[in-house]
């Protein structure tokens, strides 16, 4: 995404894509476009009527018969056409604004939905603040392009491309001068765009860096304050700003030059038109009225050219941000529903891994040939050193990633053959770092079950040992949490996460170091609750304290991504292998906690 050239599309393709986003509003788009074209045509009729009146007044052409033969008739026609043009312009402005606002929110929603379903691998690599910037800036730029399209571009482009050649019929000598002028504009603009577009890409990536850096700092205020990093962070931000301006200034210089050239060009063009007109009138090759018409065309076209140039300039500066926006939209989720994926329904919860191999990076597998068979309702503990692949195994079961080889089955069905939605509906998760929304406690719990009653909420909270502390809060279940659950202790956050999973009531429950943020006493109390929660479900527990997994049905020992032992706790201790060594190591560094002994009796 930050690769300028990979994502860089041509201006025309980008423009067409932006306009293409208006598709859901096609009827309005067509109506407004037609009105716009009429406005453009009227703008061309007016100078012609003007020239005709002048010729009638100077006697260059004789007064004809019929309603349009004389000055009065032409003036009347002019008035009607002029008023019609004003009416149409109002219609265009009115409808175009509404349309642009509507589609802007539409683009927003589409981006939001797309990003939320992108895999963790994408989000690991892209800071949320950067995404937010890309979404906001992109939607704003889309809005600007759409409004510009309806307010000006369409009419201007049609005037230039279709109507300009028509002037050839009126007087080819004067027309050629006009056409030469337009071509010159186009060429000079093209040169400036060519010279500066790579530079503008760099500017945009600095903008995104700025958003990312600021977002990262804002998300870690406590860290910054406690490590006295304020000065350093501000300086880092200023650094990015400096680089941004350093990249932006040369681009601005080129475009300022272009503006100056445009202004000068329009003066030169007017003078040239006058001079050529004078010569042609003297040689009897045209009339004064026709010269007046062409002067009108020239003024009009210079206006249009400036508007097109303004638009090219705007699109030029917006293009990198729009490319970033579409770059994200074009990111395909590696994990998604297969065509024909079916709903898993309510699973029994039998889990099988068959020869599963997976690595986050090629050539560095995190899991090797993992095979295991877990009947429904089994409580499984996965143990092993840090980095041995425990969390990865659970991530694969949740289908956050797909295995590189092998397959994972639930109730005998490959999880890639069922819809992601139904798979994840069947799995509850409690992670080490529980994540909470900046919403009320009740809202956070209901994520597990949106239609849960207050009684159900309380029952789940009681089971998770959370009711007591929630009830002690001034606003109880209605208490608003801070960003990511700030204002709660780690243990409290964790108990909310457990309550949330209880409420979801899934056949399969994954707990990754779910209780390691708790003190030994709370953990011991929670063990009772967890035992109740685990009943009748397939549960995978990754626990830091091995004492908490004594009574699971099956212990799996991972070492460097391989399953090295499996059996019950007592079997494995008796066997005296890798697991026994882990238990011994823990006893050695962590002598039995007296509070645990006291609490569990």
Smallest distance, Å, CB 389 to ligand ADP?
A: 4
Asked whether 518 and 593 are in contact (CB, 8 A), the reply is: no
Q: Which is nearer to Mg ion, 129 or 514 (CB)?
A: 514
Smallest distance, Å, CB 362 to ligand ADP?
A: 11
Q: What is the distance in angstroms between the CA of the first residue and the CA of the last residue of the chain?
A: 58
Smallest distance, Å, CB 125 to Mg ion?
A: 19
Q: How many residues bind ligand ADP (CB under 6 A)?
A: 11
Binding mask 333-372 for Mg ion (x = CB under 5 A): ----------------------------------------
Three-state helix/strand/coil letters over 238-256: HHHHHHHHHHHHHHHHHHH
Instruction: Please state, in angstroms and rounded to a whole number, the distance separating the CA atoms of residues 377 and 383.
Output: 19
What lies within 8 Å, CB to CB, of 261 at 6+ separation is: 188
Q: Applying CB under 6 A, which of residues 159, 378, 392, 527 lies at the interface with ligand ADP?
A: 392
Which residue's structure tokens are 């040169």? 191
For position 390 contacting ligand ADP by CB under 6 A, the verdict is yes
User: What does the DSSP assignment read for 559-575?
Assistant: ETTEEEEEE-HHHHHHH
Instruction: Please state, in angstroms and rounded to a whole number, the distance separating the CA atoms of residues 444 and 440.
Output: 6
Smallest distance, Å, CB 383 to Mg ion?
A: 11
For position 391 contacting Mg ion by CB under 5 A, the verdict is yes
Which range of residues in 176-184, 339-347, 391-399, 521-529 is near Mg ion by CB under 5 A? 391-399
Alpha-carbon dihedral 24, 30, 33, 38, rounded to 10 degrees? -170
Smallest distance, Å, CB 256 to Mg ion?
A: 55
For position 388 contacting Mg ion by CB under 5 A, the verdict is no
Nearest to 295 by CA among 277, 268, 282, 307: 277
Smallest distance, Å, CB 394 to ligand ADP?
A: 8
Give the rounded distance of the alpha carbon of 357 from its chain centre: 31
Asked whether 536 and 377 are in contact (CB, 8 A), the reply is: yes
Tokens of 242: 């400096």
9: three-class secondary structure by DSSP? coil
Q: Applying CB under 6 A, which of residues 321, 366, 463, 517 lies at the interface with ligand ADP?
A: 366
Q: Applying CB under 6 A, which of residues 137, 212, 287, 391 lies at the interface with ligand ADP?
A: 391
Smallest distance, Å, CB 513 to ligand ADP?
A: 8
Binding mask 165-204 for Mg ion (x = CB under 5 A): ----------------------------------------
Task: Sheet containing 405-410: give its strands across.
Answer: 364-374, 351-361, 405-410, 413-414
For position 126 contacting ligand ADP by CB under 6 A, the verdict is no
Q: Which is nearer to Mg ion, 315 or 563 (CB)?
A: 563
Asked whether 299 and 269 are in contact (CB, 8 A), the reply is: no
Q: Applying CB under 6 A, which of residues 327, 389, 428, 506 lies at the interface with ligand ADP?
A: 389
Q: Which is nearer to Mg ion, 17 or 385 (CB)?
A: 385
For position 403 contacting ligand ADP by CB under 6 A, the verdict is no
Which range of residues in 141-149, 390-398, 426-434, 548-556 is near ligand ADP by CB under 6 A? 390-398
Tokens of 217: 């700092």
Residue ranges that bind ligand ADP, judged by CB under 6 A: 124, 360, 366, 384, 386-392
């Amino acid at each position: 995404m930050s690769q300028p050239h990979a994502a860089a599309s041509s201006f025309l393709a980008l423009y067409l894509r932006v306009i293409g986003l208006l598709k859901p509003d096609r009827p309005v788009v067509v109506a407004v476009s037609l009105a716009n074209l009429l406005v453009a045509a009227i703008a061309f009729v007016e100078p012609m009527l003007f020239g005709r009146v002048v010729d009638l007044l100077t006697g260059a052409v004789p007064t004809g018969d019929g309603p349009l033969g004389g000055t009065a008739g032409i003036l009347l026609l002019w008035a009607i056409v002029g008023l019609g043009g004003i009416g149409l312009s109002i219609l265009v402005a009115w409808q175009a604004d509404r349309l642009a606002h509507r589609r802007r929110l539409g683009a927003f929603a589409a981006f939001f939905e797309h990003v939320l379903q992108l895999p963790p691998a994408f989000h690991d690599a892209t800071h949320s603040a950067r995404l937010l910037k890309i979404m906001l800036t992109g939607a704003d730029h889309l809005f600007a392009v759409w409004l510009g399209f309806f307010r000006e571009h369409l009419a201007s482009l049609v005037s230039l491309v279709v109507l300009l050649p028509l002037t050839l019929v009126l007087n080819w000598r004067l027309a050629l001068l006009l056409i030469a002028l337009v071509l010159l504009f186009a060429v000079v603009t093209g040169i400036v765009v060519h010279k500066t577009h790579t530079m503008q890409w760099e500017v945009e990536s600095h903008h995104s860096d700025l958003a990312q850096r600021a977002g990262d700092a804002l998300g870690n205020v406590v860290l910054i304050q406690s490590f006295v990093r304020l000065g350093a962070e501000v300086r880092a931000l200023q650094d990015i700003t400096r680089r941004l301006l350093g990249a932006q200034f040369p681009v601005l210089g080129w475009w300022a030059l272009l503006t100056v050239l445009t202004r000068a060009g329009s003066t030169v063009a007017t003078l040239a038109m006058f001079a050529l007109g004078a010569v042609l009138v003297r040689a009897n090759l045209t009339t004064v009225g026709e010269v007046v018409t062409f002067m009108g065309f020239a003024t009009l076209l210079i206006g249009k050219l400036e508007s097109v140039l303004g638009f090219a300039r705007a699109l030029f500066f917006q293009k990198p941000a729009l490319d970033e926006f579409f770059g994200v939209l074009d990111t395909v989720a590696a994990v998604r529903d297969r065509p024909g994926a079916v709903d898993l329904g309510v699973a029994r919860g039998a889990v099988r891994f068959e020869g599963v191999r997976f690595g986050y990076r090629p050539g560095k597998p995190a899991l090797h040939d993992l095979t295991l068979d877990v009947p429904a309702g089994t409580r499984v503990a996965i143990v092993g050193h840090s980095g041995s692949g425990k969390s990865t195994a659970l991530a694969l079961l949740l289908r956050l990633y797909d295995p590189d080889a092998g397959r994972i089955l639930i109730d005998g069905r490959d999880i890639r053959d069922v819809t992601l939605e139904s798979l994840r509906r069947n799995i509850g998760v409690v992670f080490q770092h529980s994540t909470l929304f900046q919403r009320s406690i009740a809202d956070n719990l209901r994520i597990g079950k949106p239609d849960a009653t207050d009684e159900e909420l309380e029952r789940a909270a009681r089971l998770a040992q959370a009711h007591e502390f929630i009830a002690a809060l001034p606003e109880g279940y209605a208490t608003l949490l801070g960003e990511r659950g700030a204002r709660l202790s780690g243990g409290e956050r964790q108990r909310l996460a457990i309550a949330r999973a209880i409420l979801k009531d899934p056949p399969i429950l994954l707990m990754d170091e779910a209780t390691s943020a708790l003190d030994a006493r709370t953990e011991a109390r929670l063990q009772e609750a967890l035992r109740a929660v685990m009943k009748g479900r397939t549960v995978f527990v990754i626990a830091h304290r091995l004492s908490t997994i004594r009574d699971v049905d099956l212990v799996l020992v991972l070492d460097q991504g391989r399953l090295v032992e499996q059996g019950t706790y007592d079997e494995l201790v008796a066997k005296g292998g890798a697991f026994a060594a882990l238990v011994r190591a823990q006893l050695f560094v962590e002598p039995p906690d007296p509070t645990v002994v006291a609490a569990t009796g």
